[in-house]
Each structure stands twice: as structure tokens, then as C-alpha cells.
């Protein structure tokens, strides 16, 4: 990892707890090598009690603490956004962590997830086994799987390298689409990975005015577009999600300018999806 990125993560986190059940995992080993030794602690048992809503101070603190532990439930699930009477887009989620180190004012994670730690699940092999079981059972079905429901897909990826692991794994299942959805610019570490053309790297996107005002701790618009261009140049599919669109003064001009920037940088054939 670049020295600049190492320093970025060192400055971003005050405390890292690694549970006994994860101490000997690859992700824990990477963390011990990357972070100052005084920040990393080994723990056991139940780390915290879920006591309800966090105070503002506790919430801000949770952005600077990492817990590495095994996930005890299912990783692979149908997208929970479907409601009776609506046609589902057949989207599935693969949850490899919980909480986000970014701080967007509108994000549902701000109120939905009341945990005092940003949690990284260490047992990614169990997640892959769940997918393998379904893919082997239904080899002709097509699935689109996203890892960005309960944690940004790439904001912690220079530490975990889970994207590289999943890109290699999904080569075995060309009928499946892996979507890595992010507000970060962290793509350099997986650009050289061989893939089956079924990896979609996507960005939640907004005018820079909205990013500066509401999407704190995220990559700038320029950084997101530049990262998307890098992915296109390496043969990855890309997508942009206008999610959410926020009403503000000069919103028409700002969103129009954003669309112009996308059109000026990318050919229609290079953008797989816009929502």
C-alpha cells in the first residue's frame, strides 16, 4: 500500500479490536502490519451490548474504531428494498461489514446501525461458500450481487483486499455480476486483477456542491470520475447512481453540469448502468 494511504488509515482510526475468533485470519494479519501496534488490541467474548441509540459523541467515536470479528449469520441475502406490489430487480446483497467510516448527512446507516464500532467480518470464505452453493445448484440463473448495503464496498478495501478476493472468485461464475458500490476513490489496488467482465464498479454521485455540504469524508467528484475512468481503461464495467438527488439552490445547473462532465469523459458504451 502507498505510504499516503497507510497514513490516511492510521490517522482515521484510534482503536482496532480483533476478536479471538479472527486473530489468525488474513485480514487481521494485514491490520496488524498496517497500524501502530498500540492501536491494535485482542479481545474475546461479547465486545459490546446493543443498548439502543448512540449519543452524538458515541456515534462520532464509532467512526474511528474498528472491530474485526466473524459474522455469525448469513452473508448472502435478497435486497431488503422489495415491497409487496413492486417488481423486484433481482438484486442481492453480500454483507461483509457493518457501519461506514464516511459521514454522509442523509445516509440511513446514521440511524439504522447503532454499533460503537465499524465492523469488518473476517470469515469471507464462508460468504463465498454461500454463493458457491447457490451457483452450483442453479448454474443457469443470473444474479447481480452488491457488497455496499451495510458498508461502503471500497472505503476499507485497501485494508481488507476483499475486492481482489471476490473478483477472482466471481471469475468462476460468469452469469453473476459483482457490484462494488462506493463513494471512495480506492481502486488502484485491484486494477491489475484478471476478471471475467462481470465486475461492476459503481459510484454514488452528486455535484461537488452536494458532496462538500452533505457527503463528509468522501472522495471529491473529480476523484470519483477519475477512478471510474481508471476502471474503464482496465476493462471493468462502471455505473453511476444519482442516489439521492438533493434539492438545493441552482440544483438544475449543478446536476446539468454533472451530467455534462460524465458525457465528456465517457462514451455511452463505457457506462453499463445509470440509476
Reference 69, options 111, 115, 14, 33; nearest CA is: 115
Give the pLDDT band of residue 78 (cuts 50, 70, 90). Answer: confident
Range(s) of the domain holding residue 201: 3-274
- pLDDT score of 114: 76
70: domain CATH number? 3.80.30.30
Overall number of domains in the chain: 1
> What is the pTM for the complete model shown?
0.94
Percent of the chain with pLDDT over 90: 80
Per-residue pLDDT reduced to its tens digit, 31-73: 999 999 999 999 998 888 766 678 888 888 999 999 999 999 9
Q: Could you read off the pLDDT of 148-171 as tens digits, one per residue?
A: 999 999 999 999 999 999 999 999
pLDDT given for residue 53 in this prediction: 78
- Asked if residue 42 lies in contact with residue 48, where contact means CB atoms within 8 angstroms, the answer is no
Q: What is the mean pLDDT of residues 84-104?
A: 86
Question: What's the pLDDT at 154?
Answer: 98
Burial 202-230 (b: 16+ CB within 10 A, else e): bbbbbbbbbbeebbeebbebebbbebbeb
Residue 137 pLDDT grade (very low, low, confident, very high; cuts 50, 70, 90): very high
What pLDDT sits at residue 214? 97
- Mean confidence (pLDDT) of the chain: 93
- Whether residue 135 is predicted with pLDDT greater than 80 in this model: the reply is yes
CA 239 from chain centre, in angstroms, equals 14
- How many angstroms separate the first and last alpha carbons of the chain? 32
Amino acid at each position: 500500500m502507498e505510504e499516503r494511504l497507510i497514513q490516511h488509515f492510521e490517522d482515521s482510526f484510534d482503536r482496532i479490536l480483533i476478536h479471538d475468533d479472527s486473530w489468525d485470519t488474513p485480514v487481521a494479519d494485514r491490520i496488524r502490519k498496517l497500524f501502530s501496534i498500540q492501536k491494535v488490541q485482542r479481545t474475546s467474548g461479547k465486545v459490546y451490548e446493543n443498548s439502543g441509540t448512540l449519543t452524538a459523541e458515541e456515534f462520532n467515536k464509532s467512526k474511528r474504531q474498528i472491530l474485526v470479528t466473524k459474522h455469525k449469520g448469513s452473508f448472502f441475502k435478497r435486497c431488503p428494498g422489495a415491497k409487496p406490489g413492486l417488481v423486484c430487480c433481482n438484486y442481492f446483497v453480500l454483507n461483509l461489514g457493518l457501519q461506514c467510516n464516511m459521514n454522509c448527512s442523509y445516509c440511513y446507516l446514521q440511524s439504522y446501525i447503532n454499533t460503537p464500532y465499524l465492523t469488518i467480518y473476517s470469515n469471507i470464505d464462508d460468504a463465498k461458500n454461500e454463493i458457491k452453493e447457490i451457483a452450483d445448484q442453479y448454474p443457469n440463473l443470473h444474479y447481480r450481487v452488491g457488497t455496499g448495503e451495510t458498508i461502503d464496498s471500497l472505503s476499507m478495501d485497501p485494508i481488507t483486499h476483499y475486492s481482489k478476493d471476490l473478483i477472482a472468485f466471481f471469475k468462476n461464475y460468469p452469469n453473476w455480476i459483482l457490484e462494488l458500490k462506493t463513494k471512495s476513490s480506492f481502486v488502484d489496488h485491484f486494477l491489475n486483477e484478471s476478471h471475467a467482465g462481470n465486475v461492476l464498479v459503481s459510484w454514488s454521485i452528486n455535484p461537488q456542491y452536494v458532496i462538500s455540504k452533505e457527503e463528509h469524508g468522501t472522495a471529491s467528484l473529480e476523484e470519483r470520475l477519475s477512478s471510474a475512468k481508471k476502471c474503464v481503461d482496465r476493462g471493468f464495467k462502471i455505473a453511476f447512481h444519482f442516489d439521492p438527488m438533493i434539492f438545493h439552490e441552482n440544483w438544475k445547473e449543478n446536476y446539468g453540469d454533472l451530467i455534462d462532465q460524465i458525457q465528456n469523459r465517457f462514451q455511452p458504451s463505457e457506462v453499463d448502468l445509470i440509476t
